[in-house]
């Protein structure tokens, strides 16, 4: 009987210690943002279909907006909605002043939406950042972090398939991937 009580007490303390150490670790993990790449914004089915037709000829005479709205190029990953993510890219300013940019599009390559037709909707994130970024950062790749929302947002330059209220915007560094 004494051994059984001792064994139960030992198990109790084991579980208590595990809970004390594991719960803070899981809470810290829950607060961390999931790092995404641009391909992670494309649904798996659409990515598989795009790979199938990758060798097909591209119609360069068509209306770019019409091509952009293809179901494959505008489909989004609904399961990302509300997740805290971190995504690298380039900023295309939409709103702000000479001291800070508070609204921008995040795109996968420099010059997108300005010098050519915009990328597909699932490759554009509409970002609001209340703190704002200095306009000098517009020429550098950046990391944005915050909860991502799924749903189209229309701006003067493009339609985005995702949006975000960023909690952090920082200069991109390769060693931070």
Relative to beta strand 125-133, strand 168-171 is: unpaired
| Residue-level pLDDT at 31 | 67
**Position 113 confidence tier, pLDDT thresholds 50, 70, 90:** confident
| Helix/strand/coil percentages in the chain, nearest 5 | 35, 30, 30
| Residue-level pLDDT at 5 | 52
**CATH class, range 35-176:** mainly beta
- Mean pLDDT over 106-121 rounds to 85
Within 8 A by CB and 6+ apart from 165, the residues are 127, 128, 129, 130, 146, 147
């Amino acid at each position: 009987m004494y051994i059984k009580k001792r064994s139960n007490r030992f198990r109790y303390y084991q579980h208590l210690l595990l809970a004390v150490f594991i719960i803070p670790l899981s809470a810290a993990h829950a607060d961390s943002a999931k790092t995404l790449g641009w391909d992670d914004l494309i649904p798996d089915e659409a990515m598989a279909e795009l790979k199938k037709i990758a060798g097909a000829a591209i119609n360069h005479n068509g209306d770019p907006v019409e091509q952009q709205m293809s179901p494959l190029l505008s489909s989004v990953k609904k399961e990302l909605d509300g997740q805290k993510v971190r995504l690298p890219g380039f900023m295309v300013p939409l709103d702000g002043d000479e001291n800070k940019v508070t609204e921008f599009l995040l795109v996968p390559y420099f010059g997108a939406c300005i010098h050519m037709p915009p990328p597909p909707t699932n490759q554009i994130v509409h970002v609001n950042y209340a703190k704002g970024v200095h306009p000098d950062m517009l020429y550098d790749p950046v990391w944005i972090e915050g909860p991502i929302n799924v749903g189209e947002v229309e701006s003067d330059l493009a339609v985005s398939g995702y949006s975000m209220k960023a909690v952090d915007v920082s200069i991109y560094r390769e060693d931070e991937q």
